[in-house]
């Protein structure tokens, strides 16, 4: 038999805010649901190392999906007649629709970058339906990433978006992994990264909403890389300070994409964060 | 200090760029002159098909350049360090977070060449620290 990885990918077609979407979902493992959200302009392949880690998949059912327009998920009908713009509300509607369609009970949400941002709002709104959140590179307010060149007819969008995000990796992460993430970015459809950054840097401001998170009901673990210049450690420290009982750890020598740029370096922090949310019996 | 990064470093940089196998793959359409300004010292770097064709110190007024990067020497020293501090480890990081590091001129030309330009800037660190 060939040596298959333990990841299974499938498609579902679901109604999201009145539109039908064909969504790609991949998963591995059994146990508590760990629902993973990829970064802007990328897709669920970023979680491939996590889904191949027996220490995680022995305890958690790890699930990740490609956002509409991203990866292997198709845009909705008549996508050519509207500009793709993710907003806080549309992002929540997408995640909530997939979450309910899969019937995930008290999942732990794990998101990175824009995913690390939106898990804060999801925790504020749905804290009684969650075990907790793991926010990677989480900020409550992150202006400064949006620009017109990210989707411009005189510029190769794939190469710009991939190069624009490459330095968000730590210079100490293995080059092969940083380059893999570059490739995923380069594969993004025209304007998709920009549409995501519209959410991240224009629409997003959860500085008040994060104060509603009650860590007695929904646990919060925050991890940010030292070399992240989009969501700097100081930005996550501000989130942690606004959520009493949250747990924040700085990841030394890490950048903005811990799960894909340097999984071995990220792993101890991740296991510690998951133990915080779902303590293992002694 | 006044000579930073110095003629010998620039020569090494040129050699490093022109021998780079990645630029052989991605550099074909990078044809532009841009400037690098280290404090008071300004150089015009002419790129032809992803190779450095010429580096002119203190270009005259007829030395045209599409765009350039300028910063105080202290900022360049951090960028060129083998252990660059966070925010100084990448030119896009500096453009977002280090106000003293500036992109001058026509940013469209710079971003049209983003992939090869990014490689070219990263080779600066791979060249090693200037002696100055």
Domain spans of chain B, in order of start: 7-126
Confidence of residue B132 (pLDDT cuts 50, 70, 90): low
- CATH classification of B7-126 is 3.30.1050.10, yes or no? yes
Q: What ipTM was estimated for this complex?
A: 0.96
Residues of chain A in contact with residue B89, where contact means CB-CB under 8 angstroms, are 167, 170-171, 227
* Interface mutation target, options A186, A229, A256, chain B, most CBs of B under 10 Å: A229
Please give the domain boundaries of chain A with CATH numbers for all domains.
8-277 (3.40.50.1820)
Lookup result for tokens 């790890």: A62
Interchain contact, A229 vs B87, CB within 8 Å: yes
Residue A268 has pLDDT above 70, yes or no: yes
| CA-based radius of gyration for chain A | 17
On whether any CB of chain B is under 8 Å from the CB of A237, the answer is no
Residues of chain A in contact with residue B115, where contact means CB-CB under 8 angstroms, are 156, 159-160, 162-163
For residue A281, the model assigns a pLDDT of 82
Helices assigned H by DSSP within B37-113: 73-80, 91-97, 107-112
For residue A1, the model assigns a pLDDT of 85
- Contact between A151 and A243 under an 8 Å Cβ cutoff? The reply is no
Among A256, A217, A211, which residue's Cα sits nearest to residue A233?
A: A256
B20-74 tens-digit pLDDT: 999 999 999 999 999 999 999 999 999 999 999 999 999 999 999 999 999 999 9
Nearest to A227 among B86, B114, B118 (CB): B86
**Which tokens in the block code for residue B109?**
């030309």
Residues 6+ apart with CB under 8 A from A186: A158, A159, A161, A162
For residue A282, the model assigns a pLDDT of 74
Query: Average pLDDT, stretch A113-120?
Result: 98
- Contact between A213 and A243 under an 8 Å Cβ cutoff? The reply is yes
A33-82 tens-digit pLDDT: 999 999 999 999 999 999 999 999 999 999 999 999 999 999 999 999 99
Nearest to A167 among B90, B107, B111 (CB): B90
Interchain contact, A159 vs B114, CB within 8 Å: yes
* Interface mutation target, options A159, A231, A254, A257, chain B, most CBs of B under 10 Å: A159
Instruction: Quote the pTM value.
Output: 0.97
Q: Which chain B residue is nearest to residue A253, measuring alpha carbons?
A: B86
B16 vs B55: CA distance, rounded Å: 14
Interchain contact, A155 vs B87, CB within 8 Å: no
């Amino acid at each position: 038999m060939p040596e298959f990885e333990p990841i299974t990918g499938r498609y579902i077609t679901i109604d999201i805010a009145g539109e039908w979407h064909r969504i790609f979902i991949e998963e591995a493992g059994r146990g508590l649901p760990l629902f993973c959200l990829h970064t802007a302009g990328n897709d669920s392949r970023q979680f491939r190392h996590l889904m191949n880690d027996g220490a995680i998949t022995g305890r958690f059912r790890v699930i990740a999906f490609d956002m509409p327009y991203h990866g292997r998920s198709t845009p909705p009908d008549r996508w050519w007649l509207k500009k793709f713009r993710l907003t806080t509300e549309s992002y929540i509607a997408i995640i909530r629709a997939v979450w309910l369609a899969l019937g995930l009970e008290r999942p732990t949400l794990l998101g990175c970058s824009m995913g690390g941002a939106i898990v804060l709002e999801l925790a504020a709104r749905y804290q009684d339906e969650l075990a907790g959140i793991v926010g990677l590179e989480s900020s409550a307010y992150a202006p400064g990433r949006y620009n017109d060149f990210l989707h411009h007819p005189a510029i190769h969008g794939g190469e710009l978006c991939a190069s624009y995000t490459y330095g968000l990796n730590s210079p100490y992460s293995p080059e092969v992994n940083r380059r893999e993430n570059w490739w995923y970015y380069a594969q993004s459809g025209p304007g998709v990264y920009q549409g995501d950054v519209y959410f991240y840097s224009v629409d997003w401001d959860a500085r008040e909403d994060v104060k509603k998170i009650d860590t007695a009901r929904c646990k919060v673990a925050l991890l940010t890389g030292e070399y992240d210049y989009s969501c700097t450690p100081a930005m996550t420290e501000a989130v942690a300070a606004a959520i009493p009982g949250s747990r924040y750890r700085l990841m030394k020598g890490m950048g903005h994409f811990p799960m894909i740029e340097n999984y071995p370096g990220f792993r101890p922090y991740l296991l510690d964060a998951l133990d915080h949310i779902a303590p293992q019996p002694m | 200090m006044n000579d930073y990064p110095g003629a010998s470093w620039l020569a090494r940089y040129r050699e490093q760029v022109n021998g780079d196998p990645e630029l052989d793959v991605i550099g074909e359409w990078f044809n532009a002159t841009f400037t690098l300004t280290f404090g008071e010292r300004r150089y015009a770097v002419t790129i032809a098909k992803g190779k450095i064709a010429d580096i002119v110190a203190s270009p005259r007024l007829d030395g045209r350049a599409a765009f350039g990067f300028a910063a105080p020497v202290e900022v360049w020293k951090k960028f060129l360090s083998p252990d660059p501090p966070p925010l100084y480890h990448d030119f896009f990081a500096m453009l977002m977070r280090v106000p003293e590091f500036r992109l001058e001129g026509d940013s469209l030309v710079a971003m049209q060449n983003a992939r090869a330009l990014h490689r070219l800037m990263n080779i600066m660190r791979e060249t090693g620290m200037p002696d100055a």
